[in-house]
């Protein structure tokens, strides 16, 4: 049997512990299954060797290791679901494993629910009362998935046009500022893309905008105009390393306004979770309370959900749910020290008619914990060395890019270059080429394709 691939790992764990946790996954799933390529997120992470993949695998291994000590038969059933072909089942099983491990601590040990228990997934045993916990994982909405699919298609077109019109290494920023881009907007952009890239290659102003009248029956002008999209194409100035002239280096960021039904869609799911729990769970009493553990996508803030929960319980004061745990895992960058970590954003919410008697804590194998959502920002770096941050609120964002740098010669005659990961989805590739030689090779780093979490 071939050994597991050599992986990068984070700094929060030593080699022996890391190897032991990787062995837990090998023993649980088998190397044969892990090395298959069936689209399962555990298999996808296993075949990657970057830090982010390692951190997610360690998180899963820790959950399996800890919960085996509580209920090995339950873990065995979850693993069976994870190895199955139904995407909803394996995503749900993975999240239940991670969630119950996160909730488990000496202050409030967890007990998984019996198999096929309706209404809730586990019991949180507090110091003064117990909580039935219903776990719900809400990932990307259909609107966000459609946006990212279209953005990826646009990126492919942009790469072709950058090469066609011989652009220098460039930043491309595309924004749909006023409304969610529907198919007609993407089609309009596609039809005009070649002309935009051709004209902006020699233009002093690296900017194009398409507008339309809000009311087609009236003249287009102030008060009757909306912007369909804006696009900026400008050179990357003063790079940290010289770009190779024979490769197309670029960074593209595409953003767009939320779909009008985005929040309504999420809040309806939250309401369904409340209804499902109260339909199946028995009545609350002083010793046993009902609670929800809700995994939120990065597109909505914990603060917004807290506002909605206030409104929900004001409207339905008799609902037998005492506590809601809002959870939002993201990969966040600390701008002060230029480091990235998995940040577990969590908020314990209890209705105003109830005061928890127990204290709560999170058990996080890897990463940091925050009590508020991480801000989504764009960092603009200017040629004079200054930078500016722009908040990207209530917007979908797609970012990707590739930088191809050439090796530079040191005073001692050796060649050197740095492989880095300057931003989410943007990688640096080093072109290995000896002086006077035409042949070249691309050296890539062990970086995640994006900061998207696959199993958390």
pLDDT in tens, 89-127: 999 999 999 999 999 988 889 999 988 788 889 998 888
Give the number of other Cβ atoms within 10 Å of residue 367's Cβ: 19
Q: Is 59 helix (H, G, I), strand (E, B) or coil?
A: helix
* pLDDT confidence tier of residue 158, bands split at 50, 70 and 90: very high
Cα(131)–Cα(235) distance, rounded to whole angstroms? 56
Place of tokens 């890239």: 197
Lowest-pLDDT choice from 153-157, 214-218, 242-246: 214-218
Mean pLDDT of the chain: 84
Place of tokens 């979770």: 273
Q: Tell me: pLDDT of 77 over 90.
A: yes
Residues near 453 by beta carbon (within 8 Å), at least 6 away in sequence:
52, 56, 329, 330, 331, 342
Cα(310)–Cα(338) distance, rounded to whole angstroms? 37
Q: Tell me: pLDDT of 437 over 80.
A: no
58: phi then psi, degrees, rounded to nearest 5: -65, -40
Residue closest to 49 by CA, chosen among 15, 5, 11: 5
The dihedral built from the CA positions of residue 218, 220, 223 and 227, taken in this order, carries a sign that is positive
The dihedral built from the CA positions of residue 344, 140, 323 and 117, taken in this order, carries a sign that is negative
Report the pLDDT value the prediction gives residue 188, as an integer from 0 to 100: 92
Count the helices and strands in the chain (H runs, E runs). Answer: 9, 18
Cα(367)–Cα(416) distance, rounded to whole angstroms? 32
Q: What angle do CA 337, 338, 340 make, to 5 degrees?
A: 110
Report the pLDDT value the prediction gives residue 389, as an integer from 0 to 100: 52
Lowest-pLDDT choice from 158-167, 323-332, 339-348: 339-348
Q: Tell me: pLDDT of 187 over 90.
A: yes
Q: Are 423 and 251 in contact (CB under 8 A)?
A: yes
Place of tokens 């767009």: 256
Q: Are 228 and 210 in contact (CB under 8 A)?
A: yes
Report the pLDDT value the prediction gives residue 111, as an integer from 0 to 100: 94
Report the pLDDT value the prediction gives residue 94, as an integer from 0 to 100: 94
Lowest-pLDDT choice from 33-47, 92-106, 208-222, 404-418: 404-418
Report the pLDDT value the prediction gives residue 140, as an integer from 0 to 100: 81
* pLDDT confidence tier of residue 1, bands split at 50, 70 and 90: very low
Taking each helix axis from N to C terminus, what angle separates 262-280 and 142-164, rounded to the nearest 10 degrees?
150
Q: What's the average model confidence in pLDDT over 165-173?
A: 92
Q: Is 72 helix (H, G, I), strand (E, B) or coil?
A: helix
Q: What's the average model confidence in pLDDT over 347-368?
A: 83
Residue closest to 113 by CA, chosen among 317, 193, 103: 103
Q: Is 100 helix (H, G, I), strand (E, B) or coil?
A: helix
Report the pLDDT value the prediction gives residue 422, as an integer from 0 to 100: 66
Q: Tell me: pLDDT of 352 over 70.
A: yes
Q: In what order do the strands lie in the sheet with 122-125?
A: 110-112, 122-125, 130-137, 288-295, 323-334, 339-350, 368-370
Q: Where are the alpha helices (DSSP H) in 12-125?
A: 15-29, 31-34, 41-46, 51-82, 87-103
Cα(34)–Cα(96) distance, rounded to whole angstroms? 20
Two tokens at 35? 């090395």
Distances (CA, A) of 319 to 276, 290, 291, 310, 400: 11, 10, 11, 13, 45
Distances (CA, A) of 185 to 20, 147, 180, 194: 51, 11, 9, 16
Q: Are 254 and 397 in contact (CB under 8 A)?
A: yes
Q: Is 93 helix (H, G, I), strand (E, B) or coil?
A: helix
Q: Tell me: pLDDT of 400 over 50.
A: yes
Q: What's the average model confidence in pLDDT over 290-317?
A: 85
Q: What's the average model confidence in pLDDT over 119-148?
A: 88
Q: Is 207 helix (H, G, I), strand (E, B) or coil?
A: strand
Report the pLDDT value the prediction gives residue 308, as an integer from 0 to 100: 84
Two tokens at 125? 């045993």
Looking at the chain, how many residues does it have?
456
Q: Which residue has the higher pLDDT, 281 or 277?
A: 277
Q: Which residue has the higher pLDDT, 348 or 13?
A: 348
Cα(9)–Cα(93) distance, rounded to whole angstroms? 25
* DSSP 8-state assignment for residue 162: H
């Amino acid at each position: 049997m071939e050994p597991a691939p050599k992986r990068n790992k984070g700094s929060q764990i030593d080699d022996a512990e890391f190897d032991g946790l990787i062995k837990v996954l090998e023993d649980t799933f088998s190397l044969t299954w892990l090395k298959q390529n069936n689209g399962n997120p555990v298999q996808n992470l296993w075949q990657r060797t970057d830090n982010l993949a390692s951190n997610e695998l360690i998180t899963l291994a820790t959950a399996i290791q800890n919960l085996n000590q509580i209920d090995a038969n339950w873990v065995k059933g979850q693993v069976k679901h994870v190895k199955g072909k139904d995407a909803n089942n394996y995503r749900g099983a993975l999240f239940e494993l991670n969630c119950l491990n996160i909730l488990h601590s000496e202050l409030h040990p967890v007990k998984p629910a019996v198999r096929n228990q309706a209404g809730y997934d586990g019991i949180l045993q507090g110091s003064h009362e117990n909580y039935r916990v219903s776990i719900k994982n809400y990932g990307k909405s259909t609107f966000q998935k459609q946006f990212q699919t279209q953005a990826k298609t646009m990126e492919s077109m942009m790469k072709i046009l950058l090469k066609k019109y011989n652009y220098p290494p460039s930043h491309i920023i595309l924004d749909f500022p006023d409304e969610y881009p529907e198919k007609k907007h993407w089609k309009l952009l596609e039809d005009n893309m070649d002309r935009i890239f051709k004209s902006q290659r020699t233009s002093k102003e690296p900017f194009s905008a398409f507008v339309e009248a809000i009311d087609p029956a009236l003249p287009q002008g102030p008060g009757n105009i909306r912007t369909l999209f804006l696009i900026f194409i400008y050179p990357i100035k003063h790079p940290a390393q010289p770009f190779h002239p024979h490769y197309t280096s670029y960074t593209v960021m595409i953003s767009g306004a939320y779909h009008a039904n985005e929040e309504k869609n999420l809040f309806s799911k939250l309401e369904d979770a409340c209804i499902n729990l109260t339909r199946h769970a028995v009545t609350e009493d002083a010793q046993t309370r009902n609670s929800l553990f809700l995994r939120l996508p990065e597109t909505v803030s914990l603060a917004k959900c807290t506002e909605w929960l206030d409104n929900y319980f004001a409207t339905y004061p008799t609902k037998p749910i005492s506590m809601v745990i809002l959870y939002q895992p993201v990969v966040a960058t600390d701008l002060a020290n230029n480091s990235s970590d998995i940040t577990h954003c969590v908020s314990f919410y209890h209705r105003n008619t109830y005061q928890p008697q127990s204290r709560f804590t999170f058990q996080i194998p890897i990463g940091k914990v925050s009590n508020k959502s991480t801000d989504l920002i764009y960092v603009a770096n200017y040629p004079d060395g200054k930078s500016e941050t722009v908040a990207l609120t209530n917007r979908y964002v797609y970012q990707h890019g590739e930088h191809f740098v050439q090796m530079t010669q040191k005073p001692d005659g050796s060649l050197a270059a740095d492989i880095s990961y300057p931003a989410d989805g943007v990688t640096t590739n080093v072109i290995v080429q000896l002086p006077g030689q035409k042949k070249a090779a691309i050296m890539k780093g062990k970086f995640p394709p994006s900061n998207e979490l696959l199993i958390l």
